[in-house]
Amino acid sequence: MKFKMNIMIKLLMVLLVINLFENCQSKEQNRDEISSLVINNLLNGVPDRNKSLVVMEVADLGGSYTGTCYDTFQLNGGNIGSTSYFNTPPGGAGGLLNTNVKKYAVSTSTCSDLGFTSGSNFGSTSQRPNPNDTFTFKMYTCDPNNNPCAKAAITASGF
């Protein structure tokens, strides 16, 4: 009886170790998979009413914030919603990267409506889901020194 119990425990430990190794994932991002996820979210999702992706970070203990807002997403010349990018790791992983200091959220308002000014076209290969794709968006910023973040933007991010 004791012998059978020892064999069962060893078998369970071996199965546990095998399961652990099978579920481990590489931390390196696979850009082809990210591009596929953006396209999949675009094709299989409901119509996206969100117009922007807002990322806000606490700048200091005085209640100041720094932020970035992205809108006008295009993939290979076609418009895509901000939710498709938000659901990828570079876009905030669907809000899974939110902390008490930094938050990612989509908004039904444009970046301009949220108080961001002077958007610039952006689309460097380092930001594209797949460097071969023509993935572009407009990026807006705010910070406590040059262009304070509007209350609407701070609220839209979830703070």
Q: 37 or 101: which carries more pLDDT confidence?
A: 101
Model pLDDT, residue 86: 87
Question: Which tokens belong to 92?
Answer: 């905030």
- Point out the least confidently predicted range of 32-36, 71-75, 130-134: 32-36
**Contacts for 12 with CB less than 8 Å, ≥ 6 apart:** none
Alpha helices in 45-148 (DSSP H): 82-86
Average per-residue pLDDT in the chain?
Answer: 76
Calculate ∠ Cα 6-7-12, nearest 5°.
100
Domain coordinates of the chain in residue numbers? 47-157
What pLDDT is recorded for position 61?
Answer: 82
| pLDDT at residue 117, rounded to an integer | 80
Cα angle for residues 142, 134, 132 (degrees, 5° grid): 120
Residue predicted with more confidence, 98 or 137:
98
Strands of 10-158 (E only): list them.
52-58, 65-75, 78-79, 102-107, 117-122, 135-142
Give the model confidence (pLDDT) of 28-48 as tens digits. 444 445 555 556 655 565 567
